[in-house]
Structure 1
Amino acid sequence: MTLLSGGRSVPDSVEYIESDELASLLRNSALTPRVDYVIIDVRDDDFEGGNIVSAINVPSHRLMEQLPALVKQYAHVPKIIFHCALSQVRGPTSAGLYHQAAMQRIVVAGEPQQVLVLRGGFALWQAKFKDAADLIENYNRELWESEYM
């Protein structure tokens, strides 16, 4: 674990998925969200203004209480992808917590469940795909241009 300011820690073994790879998953008509992959967006109030298509919002401050249900509900899903705004703290921390909770009980088709973090988070995602209606929904361009530009 890497210790950050404020006593927060990020697992050292976090695996990342690049935005182009996630876009390919979303655009693959042979794959079904919440069956072949789940995207869990752990942004809190900053969830407003847009999200990745099919993403589930589980605010980071509520993750621990929802963790047992998430692990049980998505036990059959081979890829679980977490992200926050930048995927520097909340996303990796949440992925680590999920992975620890799921590690002992989840095996999908003989393979361990893959828990990933979207590199660059939603900030990078919206910068790349803000005009791709098949990849982003509820997008508020003005909010992102004023907030991150």
Structure 2
Amino acid sequence: MSNSEVESPWYAEFPEPKATATTITRITLLSWMTEGKLAGKDFVLVDLRKADYEGGTIRGSINLPAQSLYPTIPSLYNLFSSAGIPTVIWYCGSSGGRATRAASWFADYIKHQNDVKMESDILEGGIKGWAKAGPEYVGLMNAYNPSSWQ
């Protein structure tokens, strides 16, 4: 590729999201997890990292790299809806790019389905914020590697 050619971002082939997804704070998610709400039953956590998937993940998360997410949204919605999942929480490294886009695409789809029972949320601060927030957060991570967060 020459210097004059610019590679399009991974999401360029997909439509811009119309909805603005809401944000859930780490404090709220921590309280859900410590008060007995279960990932996979009461909410779904989606880790969107691919190449930067390292250092651990929040317990109960599923890994769906953002680059392959858009075409799977209808199937994901059907699975989550059939299971009665009320909240889908999306995160990536900082939740500023991939998570915002994915949560908004999913919110668009929820709205398109006229579903008022499910919501699509962005985890404030992403996995970086979670891993650096203290021992109560790190204690709820699988495969935590402290050197990845320094």
TM range (shorter): 0.7 to 0.9
Equivalent residue letter for 1:77:
I
Map 1:28-47 → 2, pairs under 5 A: 28-29=35-36, 31-47=37-53
Alignment partner for residue 76 of structure 2, among 52, 70, 77? 70
Aligned-partner Cα distance in 2 for 1:21–1:106: 26
Q: Which sits farther off after the overlay, 78-87 or 125-134? A: 125-134
Question: Which consecutive unaligned segments of at least 5 residues does structure 1 have?
Answer: 1-5
Question: Which consecutive unaligned segments of at least 5 residues does structure 2 have?
Answer: 1-8
> How far is the alpha carbon of 1:48 from its aligned partner?
1.8
From the two aligned structures, give the one with the greater strand fraction: 1
Structure 1 runs of 4+ aligned residues shifted over 4 Å read: 6-12, 130-134
Q: TM-score by structure 2 length?
A: 0.80
Equivalent residue letter for 1:139:
Y
Relative to structure 1, the CA distance from residue 10 to residue 61 in structure 2 (aligned partners, 3 Å threshold; closer, same or farther) is same
> How far is the alpha carbon of 1:37 from its aligned partner?
0.4
Aligned-partner Cα distance in 1 for 2:33–2:126: 16
Relative to structure 1, the CA distance from residue 12 to residue 68 in structure 2 (aligned partners, 3 Å threshold; closer, same or farther) is closer
CA RMSD of aligned residues (A): 2.3
Map 1:1-149 → 2, pairs under 5 A: 13-29=20-36, 31-75=37-81, 76-105=84-113, 107=115, 111-129=116-134, 132=137, 134-145=139-150
Question: Sequence identity of aligned pairs in percent?
Answer: 24
* Number of equivalenced pairs: 137
Q: TM-score by structure 1 length?
A: 0.80
Larger radius of gyration: 2
